[in-house]
Amino acid sequence: MKRGQHFVGVALAAAAVIGATSLFGNDYYFRIIFMMCVYYMCAAGMNVLVGFAGQKSLGQAGLFAAGAYSVALLTSRTDISPWLALVAAAAISGVCGVLIALPSLRVKGPYLAMVTLAFGIVVEKLVGEWTDVFGGAQGIYGIRPITWNGQPLTTQQWVWFGVVLCAVTHLLLRNLLNGRFGRALLSLQADEIASASVGVRVYRAKVIAFVVAAVTCGIAGALVAQQNQYINSDFITFHLSIFILLLVLFGGSGSMYGPLVGTIVLTSIDAALARWPSAQHFLYGFLLLFALYVMPNGVTGVLNSLFKRRAKVVPAKAATQSKPTRIGPDASGDLLEVEGVTKAYGGVKPAQDVSFRLKRGHIHALIGPNGAGKSTMINMLTGVVKPSSGSIKFLGEEISDTPAHQICRMGMGRTFQNLRLFSELSVLDNVMLGRHTRMTNGFLPSLMAMPGATKQEVITRDRALQLLELVDLAHLAHQPAGSLPYGLQRRAELARALATEPQLLLLDEPAAGLNPQETAELGQLLLRIGKCGVSILMVEHHMDLVMSVSDHVIVLDYGIKIAEGKPVDVQCNPRVVEAYLGVDEEAEPVEALVAA
């Protein structure tokens, strides 16, 4: 659905809810709907963190407390406007999100959940026992509510405000997640190494996800405090963190509508079982296990799978220009200089004092027997692995200690020996992710869907389709990347690497797993890419491919460079023959190397 149509749909839905609440005056139902709005705010931000970035958090109750107690202290002890206090509470919660993210993101998986859980428990104990500031169980009274025309909002008006706030939150997060930042966050939970290789700043993206979750949860806490005009430690429990996580997992993490479905269903159940707290806790535990094991994609995931079975695949529209004329710049000279590079893992040295230079406009090959250190060298060049010593200069700049995303931004793209596609994303989204560093729209323009951000999306999409045409995959643009045959996945990964607009493209065994026909087609494709202004360094075992397309060959054996030069010269080199065949040079014709 287009952005304008979606905006109209959300506005009509919000108006319908507001209109429906005007028909009844029962405060009990108003309270339930208001709490749905509160929980949706928590769940929508949590969905960004869990569903998109893949970071499990059990500390949302602490962020809820940050917003609630911030607005409570500001309005009860100062003369600040309640509206400004609400904004300040959101900002304070965002800062707390950063403070949680910085130490938490040094760990992964269950350890991350434990760190966030510890934060939630610390906050729970803090507000419960530091009575001089937070009031403990007695709480803080006299919290000034939001006013309109000088009068505090009625219960019905609080519902209206909550509905409008939820609609705005949904629209803003949709703007953010359906573009550059959404793709970046989805790439994190798929493969962080591949994400960094296409220019995503992994740590920064995770922090952004934490901040978004913190801000929305803090606003929710502030709304509860101001609507009740009272807050105490009973609101801040571990049960709240579990409930917020359950809203996302049950509704469907990673879906824009999952938090809404989870909120409506579970808040209704919560209200129905309010008289039986023990039954509530049992049901939450059961639903959490049910969502994790039986329905891992939640309610919306089940519904989406049903609709997808009936949906027809829509072919991608051709880009305005069928073939990209240029990818790399038209220049000459040395592109990469490697001097005395060594990598040691204890006593094992996959690279020992290796030196070579790569020239612009050439296709270079890095070959050698298994265990020669070829992939280690590629990983050092792209910043995945740091060399123990030596110098690596790209475009005249030292990059031996430069992070992978920055090297990508400088103009070095890569593929991997073992496929690292984002298999759940479409082929088109994979390639669009490759242009992450080439897009100039920042966080706020993306959040607000400013014209510049929209234009960047259009340019990126057109360029991605051009590159898919280059590798003959345009007709499969909307297919999940993981559903393609292996050979086509190799091409999709190559298109993603080309989308980074590289001056130097590093290919780690691009022909691995391909049949002879596919290997021959790959060779022709590499020649076409070379004509687009991209210099290539490929690690490859298919000697027929190496000898047919390479201008320059470098040979490693046990981490030592034993030869380099033109393909004809290298295949006649006695040391190369011995390294591959394990015999003296006089005993075996050198032509056997070609068939190796």
Q: Is 213 exposed, middle or buried (0-12, 13-18, 19+ CB in 10 A)?
A: buried
Q: Please answer whether residues 124 and 225 qualify as being in contact, where contact means their C-beta atoms are separated by less than 8 angstroms.
A: no
> At 541, phi and psi to the nearest 5?
-100, -15
Res. 22: pLDDT tops 90: no
553 beta partners: 365, 565
Q: How many CB atoms lie within 10 A of CB 28?
A: 8
pLDDT of residue 316: 53
pLDDT of residue 596: 45
Q: Please answer whether residues 523 and 350 qualify as being in contact, where contact means their C-beta atoms are separated by less than 8 angstroms.
A: no
Res. 496: pLDDT tops 70: yes
Q: Is 280 exposed, middle or buried (0-12, 13-18, 19+ CB in 10 A)?
A: middle
Q: Where are the domains of the chain?
A: 3-238, 334-593
The bridge status of strand 504-508 relative to strand 535-539 is parallel
At 115-161, the pLDDT tens digits run 888 888 999 899 888 888 898 888 899 899 999 888 999 999 999 99
pLDDT of residue 370: 85
pLDDT of residue 322: 47
For residue 271, the number of C-alpha atoms closer than 13 Å in the C-beta half-sphere is: 15
pLDDT band of residue 583 (cuts 50, 70, 90) is: low
pLDDT band of residue 431 (cuts 50, 70, 90) is: very high
Helix/strand/coil for 170: helix
Res. 458: pLDDT tops 90: yes
> At 222, phi and psi to the nearest 5?
-65, -40
Mean pLDDT value across residues 205-234: 94
32: Cβ–Cβ under 8 A, 6 or more apart, which residues? 267, 268, 271
Cα separation of 388 and 343, whole Å? 5
pLDDT of residue 574: 87
DSSP per residue over 171-201, as a string?
HHHHHHHTSHHHHHHHHHHH-HHHHHHTT--
The enclosing H or E element of 151 equals: strand 151-152
What letter would DSSP give residue 318? P
The bridge status of strand 151-152 relative to strand 230-231 is unpaired
The Cα diameter of the chain in Å comes to 99
pLDDT of residue 132: 87
Q: Please answer whether residues 376 and 351 qualify as being in contact, where contact means their C-beta atoms are separated by less than 8 angstroms.
A: yes
Does domain 334-593 bear CATH number 3.30.420.40?
no
The amino acid that residue 352 corresponds to is Q
Res. 42: pLDDT tops 80: yes
Whole-model pTM? 0.87
Q: How far is CA 496 from CA 287, 381, 469, 525, in A?
A: 39, 18, 12, 15
Q: Please answer whether residues 52 and 264 qualify as being in contact, where contact means their C-beta atoms are separated by less than 8 angstroms.
A: no
263: Cβ–Cβ under 8 A, 6 or more apart, which residues? 36, 39, 40, 43, 247, 251
pLDDT of residue 594: 46
The amino acid that residue 282 corresponds to is F
Closest CA to 125 of 174, 34, 61, 74: 61
For residue 418, the number of C-alpha atoms closer than 13 Å in the C-beta half-sphere is: 2
pLDDT of residue 428: 95
